[in-house]
Structure 1
Amino acid sequence: MRVREKGDRGVVQSVVLFLGVSVLSGALAAGLAIPFAGLAGFTTEKTHETLQDLPQELKTAPPARTSKIVAADGSLIAYLYEQNRVPITLAQVNPIMRKAIVAIEDDRFYEHGALDAKGTLRAMLRNQSEGSVQQGGSSITQQYVKLSLIAKAKTPEEYQEATASTYQRKIAELRYAVAVEKEFSKDEILEKYLNLANFGDGAYGVEAAARHYFSTTAAKLTLPQAALLAGLVKNPTGYDPTNSPKRAKDRRDVVLRRMQELNVITAKQATDAIRTPVYDPKKVNKVPNGCAASDYPFYCEYAYSKLLENPAFGPDEKSRAHYVKTAGITVKTSLDPKIQRAAEAAIKSKSKPADTTIAAVTMVQPGSGLVKGMAQSKPYGDGTNHTTSYNYNVEKTYAGGYGGFQNGSTMKAFTIAAAIQQGIPLNYRINSPSPIDLSGVKFKTCTGTTSDPDYHPKNSTRSGDLTMIEAAKASTNTYFLQLSQRTGLCAIATIAAKLGMRDAQTLQPLQQVISMTLGVDNVSPLMLANAYATFAARGKYCKPLAVTSITSAAGKPIKTPGIDCNQALEQPVADGVNRVLHEVMGKGGTGNRLNFGPSDLAGKTGTIQDNKAVWFSGYSSTMAAASVVADAKLPYTNLMYGHTLNGKDIADPSGSGTAGPIWEAAMRAALKGTAETHFVPPSDKTIRGDVKDLPFVTGMSVQDATNRLQGAGFQVTVAPGQVDSQEATGTVAYTSPRQRDGAPEGSLVTIYISNGKNGQQPPPPPTSPQPPNPPNTGKPGGNPQCPPWHPKYPNCGGR
């Protein structure tokens, strides 16, 4: 008997609760509620507090929408979403779909207010008899409220509160539903509900569901299709046809019979629809999500990382990622499909995923910084089957960024720029033997000096008395080491920094060590290609740019960083660098085999110590690219031993022979069909340099020569050891630069000391005046009696 009384009391509480919320919703006539007013005491204190404390209106968040990243031509790169949703208006929904959802979820939707009194009472009585919430009975308006509260939840606690199986939540939903019914029409509520509902298998909203399950639109849904979707909202996972076709069909048929019972459709229509297959697996259109599903996953991740740097999307990375994946924005990038295909084809033709090395190339547009393409030999993946999640083209600070490799002699381009900037001429000669002893020699840095107590660098190519152009063509190490001593490392580091060169692992400035011109720290192909693009753009540096524009779901522009350029180098300096690196592509240059087409090309090879990575970076006036082949597994090992590229053993790794062909293939395809371009010739001043005359010191004692040079405003250093010369032992054999070439004011002049072994005597003076002989250029036709060059004998070439 006691149990029965307890049960009766529970039923009465449910009825009172139902009547209380009914009054709130306006669903019942006032007179109907009056006879039960005395039962109000059965409501709980918590219910009373809930009713009193609820706000008067529902504040909703915009429904999460699918965003997308597109290429420069508008073609799709990737979809980004937390919920795959494409919001539409109710007018874009087939009327049969509207009728199906109303029939199965709330057939009296257009007749009652926020609450369906009959349905709610039936559910509450059953729930009370079961001791828990077993049946919904919620109106479409209440369901919309619940979905809105779930969508707005930002924490696990808020989500739990929005989905809790309690009467307090139901009452809260009802109070919000009353507010919604006051603010919106029934059609507006139904539209919002259809756009917000979960239809299973990652499809949110009726439009996304129609596209996903049937490859159609909400406007073109058929009766059986509409019935299937209407049945899904009750249990999106359980009734998902891609998971359980039989359960999905059973549920769909329930909807169809309910529509028949309500006279929405005829018995024949219901029967015909029931006989149709539940769905066609071939028409299921799974919308890929994220960069991993993109045709360009590495570029996509780079662009996505740039989005996460945009403060317009939120105060931190987490909130920015949420915004990007829910705001329905369209992100346009600089990726050019033609150039991307060129990069990919070059990689594919010159390497294989199974190689023990990696190959990568990045292509950048000079004068804008637009990153047009990037490709690499290892496909995107989890590391199995020769895949990788590392992007070998970008810095470590970006998603998956590997962080680069030491760039070898491609650093010499920045030394050339520093020299030209200081007025050093392109024909500046330095005696460049191999090896050379630079032990203890001081190199100026931005904070002082640096040296190496035991440093004997060698050349792997040409040695001798070379000009800057000759040394660049041969990539002569000892020349550029001495040139970097004259310019100072600070000047090189400053120019490199202005052109965006940083340590790709840490983004810290490059180290100022004496071997800096031969390669320092790790740099990425993107970084190097963009720096060389600055030379192509006549000194105009532009920050690398992947995201060019962003538009909202409404089609309005969203602020994003655009093209950002500055004149980092004076144009004459860049023109001089272009001339020198253009000669590298000419006859006798390390890039000669890579030269092609009518347009001017410039470039530089790079090989790091022990051949652990090889580079080629080069450009035309309209496109720049940097390619690298490297060992990407620690510890790095020599590419010559046990490494493969394009399925073959690497016998002789080099910048021109290994990385160069990738660069050439990519550039050749990218420039195909484009207009012929040429570099602006350097000025005569750039070629000849901003120099002053050097005093004649040959044959003098070292001290006298030093005093005389310093008195003329030059710095002086003495080369170690002695050289073959006809001058007396211990006196000055010659200087570098030569007297005939002059030197920039205040620059460093190196004195070479004679060993007296080359005792060639000058010819006897003429007995009568004769016209001077032409200068001895070392070419056929010169006077064989003249020494190569000597200011003592003006008739043999003079200065």
Structure 2
Amino acid sequence: MTQVRQRGTQARHRPVRLPSTGSGAVGGALLRLTLVVLATGALLGGLLAAPVAGLARVTPRTLPGAGAITLPDPDAVPLGTLVTDAGGAPIARLYEQYRVPTGPDGVARVLEDAVVAIEDRRFREHGGVDVRSLGRALATNLRASGNPLSGQGASTITMQYVKNHRLLTAGSAAERDAADAPTLARKLVDVQVALRLEERLTKDEILARYLDTVYFGNGAYGVTAAARTYFDTVPTELDLAQAALLAALVRAPETYDPAENPEAALARRDLVLDAMVEVGSVTAAQAATASESGLGLVEPLRVAEDGCVNARPGTGFFCRYLLAYLGDVGLGAEELRTGGYTIRSTLDLRVTDAARRAAADQVPVDGTRGIANAVAVVQPGRERHRVLALAANRALGPDASAGQSSYPLPSAAVPYGAGSTYKIFTAAAALEQGLGVETELPAPETYTSQVFLDDGEPYEVSGDAGTPDEVDLQEALAQSPNTTFVQLLDQLGSVDPVVDVARRLGLRESLREPGTQGRTVGEAVRAEQRASFTLGPVPTSPLELANVATTIVSGGIWCPPSPVDAVLDSTGTPVPLAEAPCEQAVDEDLAASLAFALSEDHTGGTATTAAQAAGWERPMIGKTGTTQQNLSAAFVGATPQLAGAVITWADGSPPRPVCDGAPPRLCDEGTLFGGTVPARTWFATMAPLHDGVPVVGLPEQAAPGYRTGQLGPPVG
């Protein structure tokens, strides 16, 4: 391993405002610089007359922006953001420039020596401006072009850092042009700032800051990114040959790109090695040994992929939701791409892998076209609802022919709805208004509403011929007769309380989806008094549906489905987020009673076959749903430890009914139901995740206040 010097902790510096007077250190430095340039007159002859006269007239007050000079702020340099899973494993990077701050303790001495040898070999001797090199450069430029500032720059590492920083932090094209303008005024600003930096910082600190601003090619900004990109290592582990190659790239990374121009890169690297021998930082023998080695690049280069499309496989949809969520709570996309944050998300890779496998096994992309299968998993809790997984049978990406989707499938609203899972909301609204779980309810084969209309005619629905004539609420939710729930709506007298409880339990964004006549879905359902709302034909997010189940098993407490555990800024300081507070969405006893009412779908209801096939034996809540023409179907369920929802739907254009099968397929007469693909996907996700997890019971009966009771006299 390359020897690394021990240094003190790097100090972080905020902008320092300098006085504009010509007195003190800056004025003295300018005077010294002027005298040095004047002293070179004998050597340069009459060629220096013009620049010396110009330099003699310049004082700090005559410089652009006179009044104050700002030292470079290392925190202002664009830094990429790292997104990790809940355990700290990287899943995505977000950046405008891929850069990771290094600091003076994070660079091998051999790299520092290589850069100093080739870029500024008197770096450790001068005070920020190398007046010898400056005099030579002025003379050379005058002879070559007549402009002393056009050509060789004679910039020291300190001066290069000053210019690089201005370029990186420029807010406009005009500012970038000014930062690199070949003018005497701009050069003198560089000189002043460089001299002051040398007073305030150690050489190691200046060099570290410089190495953090340099572009090394192939998307790597700064030495940490470069070490990873080219050698899959860190700057403290670089050997001599590697360090010399990185130093070679500083001057012209495209020209000496080792991947595209290996011969040019090798020649430049060897030039660096020769320079290191000349200044005495390595021996000729060490340089010769390093010169005999190849470039030693990793293949392929470890170019950091940017954005959620390039996130760790299986995590792209979660990443998309995370960015949208952070934007809503105060951290926008641009800030994330430049602010150098570390985001520890709630994503659980084990849960994600299980959900992803289940979704793809049930609806394989290679054998199934035009059908999406999305899974969302949320962790119940009374203080937080942590999103553990957002997965689908597709990957996030632009190539539909490869089975990718550019839509955030598990968190976006499925246009055809979630079917009879919405009967949960009708049941909850009825419980709130006096219905008892044990109260017998009619379940006729057909029912015509006496309150609600459909295209001007009384709303009529069919039931299930296999359902008893009367059922209690638990049986109704398990067997799902449409007639029972439309009759409950009639007794409620309005769809408003059902929409309200749906929002409170978790369908907050789904109900804000665009509806008819410029209204949201929720507004349209209320305005038009759509009794069909209880059958779930409206757009529904799998994630929000999962959060509904989470709310029910969390004692009726709704919390936002949060994908983030912590955000740290570039200094490691926690960043507060304006997340919505948790709410008691429904009475705790009502939530317990609703959980009891939902506890038989997997033992004697529409999900029984899927549960038995999975060998499922523990207590849970669950509800299936299927939409008209079998365009979509859903299953939502939860244990006290994990909640989840699955929606399967036709996502082609135009949409066609879906038939269950191995694999499912688009067809003319659909056979997709909530108890088929969605339920099988749910149990295939949850069964392995619950292996070895203690069984936690659910309420075995309704709470005393919710066992018996009527909404009012039966309608009809």
TM-score (norm 1): 0.76
Q: Deviations over 1:287-336 (max 9, x none)?
A: 3332222221111121122222232x4xxxxxx33332333322111112
Amino acid at match of 1:99: D
Equivalent position SS for 1:371: strand
Do the aligned partners of 2:371 and 2:665 also contact (CA within 8 Å) in 1?
Answer: no
Q: Deviations over 1:405-428 (max 9, x none)?
A: 412111001111111122212243
Structure 1 residues 243-642: aligned runs within 5 Å = 243-282=260-299, 284-295=301-312, 296-311=315-330, 313=331, 320-354=332-366, 355=368, 356-367=370-381, 368-383=384-399, 384-395=401-412, 404-438=415-449, 441-443=450-452, 452-462=456-466, 465-467=469-471, 468-487=473-492, 488-502=494-508, 504=510, 506-507=512-513, 508=520, 510=522, 511-512=525-526, 513-561=530-578, 564-591=581-608, 593-594=610-611, 596-640=615-659
Residue 156 of structure 1 is matched in structure 2 by 173
104-113 vs 581-590, greater mean Cα deviation? 581-590
Residue 234 of structure 1 is matched in structure 2 by 251
C-alpha separation in 2, matches of 1:87 and 1:142 = 20
467-476 vs 241-250, greater mean Cα deviation? 467-476
Equivalent position SS for 2:600: helix
Are positions 1:86 and 2:97 aligned together?
A: no
C-alpha separation in 1, matches of 2:690 and 2:580 = 22
C-alpha separation in 1, matches of 2:632 and 2:342 = 38
How far apart are residue 84 of structure 1 and its match?
2.6
Equivalent position SS for 2:646: strand
How far apart are residue 146 of structure 1 and its match?
0.5
Residue in structure 2 matching 1:130, options 145, 148, 152 = 145
Q: Deviations over 1:686-716 (max 9, x none)?
A: 45423xxxxxxxxxxxxxxxxxxxxxxxxxx
Summarize the Cα distance change of 1:557–1:122 in structure 2 as closer, same or farther, 3 Å threshold: same
Summarize the Cα distance change of 1:21–1:248 in structure 2 as closer, same or farther, 3 Å threshold: farther
Residue in structure 2 matching 1:656, options 675, 696, 702 = 675
Structure 1 residues 192-207: aligned runs within 5 Å = 192-207=209-224
CA RMSD in angstroms comes to: 3.0
Do the aligned partners of 2:633 and 2:673 also contact (CA within 8 Å) in 1?
Answer: yes
C-alpha separation in 2, matches of 1:151 and 1:647 = 53
Summarize the Cα distance change of 1:455–1:102 in structure 2 as closer, same or farther, 3 Å threshold: same
Summarize the Cα distance change of 1:21–1:197 in structure 2 as closer, same or farther, 3 Å threshold: farther
Summarize the Cα distance change of 1:276–1:53 in structure 2 as closer, same or farther, 3 Å threshold: same
How far apart are residue 562 of structure 1 and its match?
6.0
Amino acid at match of 1:70: T
How far apart are residue 561 of structure 1 and its match?
4.7
How far apart are residue 258 of structure 1 and its match?
2.1
Residue 673 of structure 1 is matched in structure 2 by 692
How far apart are residue 403 of structure 1 and its match?
5.1
> Which of structures 1 and 2 has the larger relative contact order (alpha carbons within 8 angstroms, sep 6+)?
2
Q: Which runs of 5+ in 2 are unaligned?
A: 1-25, 514-519
C-alpha separation in 2, matches of 1:31 and 1:528 = 75
Q: Deviations over 1:642-701 (max 9, x none)?
A: x976365666211102211111111212222111121123346445423xxxxxxxxxxx
355-364 vs 459-468, greater mean Cα deviation? 459-468
Summarize the Cα distance change of 1:665–1:122 in structure 2 as closer, same or farther, 3 Å threshold: same
Do the aligned partners of 1:109 and 1:139 also contact (CA within 8 Å) in 2?
Answer: yes
Summarize the Cα distance change of 1:360–1:30 in structure 2 as closer, same or farther, 3 Å threshold: closer
Amino acid at match of 2:163: K
How far apart are residue 584 of structure 1 and its match?
2.3
Residue 727 of structure 1 is matched in structure 2 by none
Summarize the Cα distance change of 1:403–1:125 in structure 2 as closer, same or farther, 3 Å threshold: farther
How far apart are residue 462 of structure 1 and its match?
3.6
Residue 782 of structure 1 is matched in structure 2 by none
Amino acid at match of 1:255: V
Summarize the Cα distance change of 1:264–1:624 in structure 2 as closer, same or farther, 3 Å threshold: closer
Percent identical among aligned pairs is: 30
Amino acid at match of 2:338: T
How far apart are residue 539 of structure 1 and its match?
1.4
Residue 109 of structure 2 is matched in structure 1 by 95
Equivalent position SS for 2:174: helix
TM-score (norm 2): 0.84
130-139 vs 25-34, greater mean Cα deviation? 25-34
C-alpha separation in 2, matches of 1:124 and 1:22 = 21
Do the aligned partners of 1:474 and 1:590 also contact (CA within 8 Å) in 2?
Answer: no
Equivalent position SS for 1:586: helix
C-alpha separation in 1, matches of 2:169 and 2:190 = 14
C-alpha separation in 2, matches of 1:593 and 1:323 = 46
Structure 1 residues 12-161: aligned runs within 5 Å = 24=30, 26-27=32-33, 29=35, 32=38, 43=54, 51=63, 53-54=65-66, 55-62=68-75, 63-128=77-142, 129-130=144-145, 133-161=150-178
C-alpha separation in 1, matches of 2:703 and 2:104 = 73
C-alpha separation in 1, matches of 2:707 and 2:70 = 79
C-alpha separation in 2, matches of 1:31 and 1:482 = 97
How far apart are residue 153 of structure 1 and its match?
1.1
C-alpha separation in 1, matches of 2:53 and 2:159 = 24
Summarize the Cα distance change of 1:38–1:586 in structure 2 as closer, same or farther, 3 Å threshold: closer
